[in-house]
Structure 1
Amino acid sequence: MMYQAAADRYGSMPYPHCGRSGLRLSAVSLGLWHNFGGNDDFDRQRWIVRTAFDNGVTCFDLANNYGPPPGSAEENFGRLLARDLKPYRDEMVVCTKAGYTMWPGPYGDWGSRKYLVASLDQSLKRMGLDYVDIFYHHRPDPNTPLEETMAALDTIVRSGRALYAGISNYDGERTAAAAAELRRLGTPFVIHQMRYNMLVRQPETDLLPVLEREGIGGIAFSPLAQGLLTDRYLGGALPPDSRAAGSVGFLKPEHITPERLATIAALNEIARTGGRTLAQLALAWVRRQPSIASVLIGASKPQQVLDAVKAVQMAPLAGDEIAAVEAILGGQS
């Protein structure tokens, strides 16, 4: 039977503007970094993506190297588009990136014009699309002039391969320089994707002030610290199917220290007092920043998507909740 999206999918999801642009993002975006590769179950991927779209999630985030194997997440998303979502393409914000190693040799990595343009052409072919809505440079390249990388993004937007340009993992100083260069070129630079959560707070002093000043929207990846800011680790044991037990991602077993677990338990008490789960508190904490347009979640099951959607429908954090969290986090970063 042909998939038909839920009629009430836009009933309760917030859609903040991305910076000072006209682009609005769903407050929850779905990232296809984990669980969407060629080695994962396609029917489960389909169920997760359908659940997301049926509940107002319109922003889907990929990269050329997502898998494993690299490229397979884009291929699977292309299959999902063809089977289910093609009639809804204009209701979706499809994003991809290039900047990490994708193919052997000197032209398959970093930030040269040759790499970025070739990579996006490959990504479009894998997904079966004529364009993406946002194309990101995935990480700064210390050996390629910033002007060349930004000129490549300009070329990509002007050619129609992408509607908007973005960057990811840039610090505040380099973000300001990229904004100045793209402004000079006349390219719509609307978004920065950064790692930001209650346990990783450097963006608050380094990056977020630049985004607010420049009118660039932020999308935060790892807002739940790859599951650490959920109830999965509250018992102190390492779940065998958790991110920390695996070989990919930022979260490693050595990060699950007694001190870190005590912090998480204290945050969980604040969440319970406010009628939230720990994950809902963590998402609200990230979304309190004016420049953050969307939180980018991963999911291994549909229920995780539903939990995140419920979180952004709740009231913002009150002042006393923020103060209580600050008292626990202190200077952690």
Structure 2
Amino acid sequence: MGTHVASEDRYDSVEYRRCGHSGLHLPRLSLGLWQNFGSDRDLEGQRRILLRAFDLGVFHLDLANNYGPPPGSAEENLGRILARDLRPHRDELVITTKAGYVMGPGPHQHGGSRKYLLSSLDRSLRRMGLDYVDVFYSHRPDPETPLEETMLALHHAVVSGRAMYAGISSYGPAATREAARIMRELGTPLVVHQPSYSMLNRWVEDGLLAAADDEGMGVVAFSPLAQGVLTSRYLGGDVPADSRAGVGRPSWREHMLSDTVLERARGLNEIAAERGQSLAQMAISWVLRDQGPRTVTTALVGASSVEQLEHNLGALDAPEFTDEELRRVDRWAVESDVNIWAGATAGRP
């Protein structure tokens, strides 16, 4: 098959917002390639999801060097689909990647060193067949590397033309402010922070959303469905064999389906049903709810099928939450120890 013929009304389908103080715009819902785009998934199925997303106005595709499995395969698969179908639309796409987590053995295959970040970015570009990415992130803070070195690497990625913009992920409020200060002085401001955020993982409300707003950064929220806990898959207490819990993904923890967590998910599900939404749709709507200047720019969702993608996009059609609904949500939407990335911020608060 040849080049995909894109829908002419693709920008009429979804709202998009400016990312912080930059000129970069992102759709309100973006597609994350973390879990469903590795070599263990059918490439044709991945292609259908990506093309449907683009036709529905989801032009932001988020990756990292270690996405798969195995690490690197999500970027390779995206590269194949870009070459086959979406190359004429490269200028419309916002493609982002990261480096920071482990990619291989030795001291220069993880962390925040200049050597690792820039060599990893070069490999990512080769895997995707790209000349540049739109955002290059420091995937996590590294307490063993000076923050100045990590930020200089991001700065160099931009000034060398490998990336259009720079961002950080999972940095705490104080480290976010310091990183932003360093980058401003270098002349390459950070435009985006990517933290985990969901109804069961609200750490960003304790200073991070305020820091991002103060520093002029957009916020890309990942894991708004708490890795599937905030969907209908586990509400009955069973674990489907093909689910993240059933497959035993490395990012999964057994306590995520404790009786307490399931009780909270069921309480939230009742509110969602009254709103005419699924639990997953309400979880996305809630992350994107109006919080004034601290409102999240976009939420990243994965998709294992076109149907799941379209269902998640339905969250954008929901009415705003009433004050009473938010009060009821707060009864159940409490910290539930599902933030497996919390340790990443331990060295830099």
1:329 to 318, 333, 338: 333
CA separation in 2, counterparts of 1:86 and 1:92? 10
What corresponds to 1:156 in structure 2? 157
What corresponds to 1:39 in structure 2? 40
8 Å CA contact 1:263, 1:328 repeated in 2:
yes
What corresponds to 1:67 in structure 2? 68
CA separation in 1, counterparts of 2:160 and 2:317? 38
1:111 aligns with 2:112: yes
1:307 to 306, 311, 331: 311
What corresponds to 2:260 in structure 1? 259
SS in 2 for 1:229: coil
CA separation in 2, counterparts of 1:319 and 1:31? 30
Instruction: Write out aligned runs for 1:1-333 (5 A).
Output: 1-2=1-2, 3-288=4-289, 289=291, 290-329=294-333
CA separation in 1, counterparts of 2:266 and 2:303? 23
User: TM-score scaled by structure 1?
Assistant: 0.96
8 Å CA contact 2:109, 2:116 repeated in 1:
yes
User: TM-score scaled by structure 2?
Assistant: 0.92
CA separation in 2, counterparts of 1:66 and 1:6? 28
8 Å CA contact 1:243, 1:249 repeated in 2:
no
Aligned-CA RMSD value: 1.4
8 Å CA contact 2:137, 2:168 repeated in 1:
yes
Question: Which residue identity is paired with 1:285?
Answer: W
Shift of 1:124: 0.6
Shift of 1:215: 1.5
1:132-166 deviations in whole A, cap 9, x for unaligned? 00000101111110001001111110011000000
1:146-198 deviations in whole A, cap 9, x for unaligned? 00100111111001100000011111111111001001111031111111100
SS in 1 for 2:96: strand
8 Å CA contact 2:31, 2:302 repeated in 1:
yes
Shift of 1:251: 3.2
Unaligned runs of 5+ in 1: none
Question: Which residue identity is paired with 1:148?
Answer: E
SS in 2 for 1:179: helix
Shift of 1:249: 4.7
1:13-32 deviations in whole A, cap 9, x for unaligned? 01011112111101111111
Unaligned runs of 5+ in 2: 338-349
Number of aligned positions between the proteins: 333
CA separation in 2, counterparts of 1:176 and 1:147? 13
CA separation in 1, counterparts of 2:334 and 2:194? 25
8 Å CA contact 1:13, 1:313 repeated in 2:
no
8 Å CA contact 1:198, 1:282 repeated in 2:
yes
Shift of 1:277: 1.3
Shift of 1:332: 5.2
8 Å CA contact 1:243, 1:252 repeated in 2:
no
CA separation in 2, counterparts of 1:42 and 1:258? 37
CA separation in 1, counterparts of 2:232 and 2:222? 19
CA separation in 2, counterparts of 1:239 and 1:297? 20
CA separation in 1, counterparts of 2:334 and 2:35? 31
CA separation in 2, counterparts of 1:185 and 1:25? 25
Question: Which residue identity is paired with 1:30?
Answer: L
Shift of 1:46: 0.5
